[in-house]
Chain A
Amino acid sequence: MYLFKYIMKRIGLMLMTFFVIVTMCFILVKLLPNTPAAQFGKDMALILKRRELLGYDLPILQQYGRFLKYAFKGNFGIGETYKLGNEVWTVFKNRLPYTMCLNLVTISFSIPLGLLLGIFAALKKNKWEDHVISTGVMIFVSVPSFVYAFLVQYILYFKLGWSSATVDVSAGAWSWTFVKSAIPAVISMSFGTIAGFARYTRAELTEVLTSEIMLLARTKGLTRSQATFRHALRNSMVPIFPMILGEFISIMSGSLIIEQIFTIPGVGELYIGSIQAQPAPDYNFFMLLTIFYTFIGLAAGIVIDISYGIIDPRIRMGAK
């Protein structure tokens, strides 16, 4: 029962944090100059009328009330400087699948690969296999993703000509055409994930392998592989499984840089586009995406925390 109470408490706290952040961002955005001249359309009287109807000259808190009311119905306004006149929510909804598809493909092979490499390195600790893997992991964890994105782009596209420079979106997000054309992006994104998981798995597994439960398992007559599979692996998965869950939550947020480099029409590109729109950033897009990124970040954190408690009864955080 206290698990349920714990989860409720965490979710309640998260929603509170979320609400405060959204309020803060809304007020900060509304404090920015948002002049009529920067709006679309030519007829000034019409523009002013539209702004009046949208409540742009009301006090900020009143505007915030309206914003929340409409936002719950999925209405975040329309693009004013970026994607002129398009409904913000619709544009966002159309972008999301590309980001999700890309990330899903990436983690679907990079997590297993990372785990395998990590397990292998831990089992071969301090042998040459371990040194090779650890060095590779060190490099791929440290080097920023854009550096090897450039390298992948240079080799796959310019030198070998195996892929195109931009992705093919003609068949939609959930299609082989898109995935195939996004292979360079998938490869560049997977390096970091593989390396991260390999490092973490290796560290956890080495710790379990040297612990006393392993000695007990061997003493009672299990072979080394039996002990490793039945006891060490399962125990080392305790902190790793929440990490995998967190990774699945954040498939939606994606990578700003990778999407920019490979011009993938995802959420990240939308975000950059709305910030860099001329003559002023598009505040409606910016608000929606701020809410989105904040929510994903908080949700990933809470899912990780709760799953810790579910998987391992020893760690019931917050439970007295």
Chain B
Amino acid sequence: MENKTDIMNIPADQFVIADKEGYIHDVKLETKPVGYFRDAFRRFKKNKSSVVAAIIIIILVLFAIIGPFLVHGNYHDAYVSSTALVNYKYLIPKVSFLEGTGIWDGTKTEEISDNKYNMYRAMEIELGYPAMTDILSERVQKDVFGKETKLYKVRTDSYHSQTIITMTLTSQMYQDILKWQDETGLQVILPRSNSQGYDLNPSCWFVADKKGNAKLDANGNFVPDYFTTGEDDYTSSVRLDSDPGKTDPNAANRYRYAQRTGTAETGYNYVVRLHPFNYFQYMFGFEPCFIFGTDGSGYDIFDRLSNGARFSFLLAIVVSAINLTIGAIYGAIEGYYGGAVDMIMERISDILSGVPFTVVTVLFSLHLSSKVGIVPSLLFAFVMTGWIGMASNVRMQFYRFKNQEYVLSARTLGASDLRIMFKHIFPNSLGTIITSCVLVIPGVIFSETSLTYLGIVNLGSARLSSIGSMLSAGQGCMTTAPHVILFPAVFIALLEISFNLFGNGLRDAFNPSLRGSED
């Protein structure tokens, strides 16, 4: 204690010069500097829901980019001649490794009449694939006249319960199919049946009454009713098991596989019944299996959705970029100069923002779509009013920063207006601008989907698709094929939720006043 109080009388020899050589320097900071963006990123990472949203967005974007390459090109190209695909409409979503599980395996539960039940059984015999995977229950229904109908609740495999295709082939096509049959051993061409005599159902190959009810034999089996007369030039060795021609190709009562029309001079044509599942393989070179199913035109929903998503993302990003450019320049001029310039420019953007968006779109598509095409006109419509929000955002930021001392000092040093605007003020408002740029994207996608859903803008064609037109197509068949509307709806819902979460996280991360408040 004593030597502390005796501070005035320290002997001179106790003193040492601290540093004989020159000056004491500050110690170099060992930690890395934390800049604006690094700090924002650090705080963004803490927000778990935004990180999850960002991951979902990445997945959706990958789906949009890679999706179109994952589908079978043949099938995609066939969209143009869409008549070929009509036979494969409303196929239920199916993933090949889930086959037989009852979930996502291309089957659905339906209640069918006696008549149809028999038809499915007969199809299984003829086509070799089970049309029904499971029979759940059966009941008897009485109608008002007391007539009883037997109803079956079954799980039908939509891939194997498609109606048989009737088609007229040229000689060349016919021979090609026969050759393919011999190579693969798969039956594509089925014997001609007398089904026209019953109910005009091409799937009917057995003896039946006028309403298509099967007349079974004593053992409860179907009685085949194939043509056994006529010319068919059938050379393939692939034949039905019940065909007498299987053992003896020249048997007189062998089944006839085609109805030959025309003459030898003009070239023959062949009217045939085609196995839908195997014909698909012949046409497109792969077994039908659509992860998202097909829609009412037979289009692959996975392909359509990823294409539509790609279009939406592209449109949204382009719109966002253009809005940023126009809005930043406009808002910077407004905010920096203020006064009369600001007032006049505000009036202009007030007027533009007063026009309802649907009106803008309609006017643009009426004026421009015939001249520059429908997509550019949609783009113009989005840009026309879209930049206003960005401009007012930038304007606010400029008002905030333009009177600060560092701007004054830059001006004193002789910096030009342009340099002050874009070198000194603009970077300070970058956080807000990035956030509003991100939040523009879900807005654009939502508007685009609404417009195409309402049919104000019609983007649906064989090649191009949009989520909105897929939704409106799916709405019509919601009872029979809910999967058509399910996938686009889930996609847009996921996209909007995750973009909003992501945008909110970004906004909080870029807001320095919130720093530390979450901890």
Contacts and interface: CB of A to CB of B under 8 A. Distances in A.
Interface of A: 13, 17-18, 20-21, 24-25, 28-29, 31-32, 138-139, 141-144, 146-147, 150-151, 153-154, 158, 256-257, 260-261, 271-272, 275-276, 281, 286, 290, 293-294, 297-298
Nearest to A293: B356
Interface string B172-212: 00000000000000000000000000000000000000000
A144 B478 contact: no
Given A31-B367, A281-B362, A290-B359, A154 B482 contact: yes
B14 interface: no
Given A28-B367, A143-B496, A260 B446 contact: no
A276 B454 CA distance: 10
A290 B454 contact: no
Interface of B: 347, 350-351, 354-356, 358-359, 362-363, 366-367, 442, 446, 449-450, 453-456, 471, 475, 478-479, 482, 485, 489, 492-493, 496-497, 499-501
Task: Tell me the dominant secondary structure on chain B's binding face.
Answer: helix
11 contacts: A17-B354, A24-B351, A142-B496, A154-B482, A257-B454, A260-B454, A261-B475, A272-B455, A275-B362, A281-B362, A293-B356
A142 B347 CA distance: 31
A142 B497 contact: yes
A293 B359 contact: yes
Contacts, number: 93
A297 B355 CA distance: 8
A294 B358 CA distance: 11
Given A139-B497, A257-B453, A271 B358 contact: yes
B456 A298 contact: no
A182 B453 CA distance: 21
Query: What 5 A-B pairs come out closest when comparing CB atoms?
Result: A293-B356, A142-B500, A142-B497, A142-B496, A143-B493
A25 B367 CA distance: 12
Nearest to A143: B493
Contacts of A151: 489
B363 A25 contact: yes
A81 B446 CA distance: 30
B54 to A, nearest CB: 15
A65 B7 CA distance: 99
Contacts of A158: 478-479
Contacts of B356: 290, 293-294, 297
Contacts of B492: 143-144, 147
B52 to A, nearest CB: 12
A13 to B, nearest CB: 8
Nearest to B455: A276
A25 B355 contact: yes
A21 B355 contact: yes
A256 B358 contact: yes
A281 B497 contact: no
A237 B351 CA distance: 30
A135 to B, nearest CB: 9
B454 A144 contact: no
Nearest to B370: A33
B455 A17 contact: no
Given A25-B355, A153-B478, A144 B362 contact: no
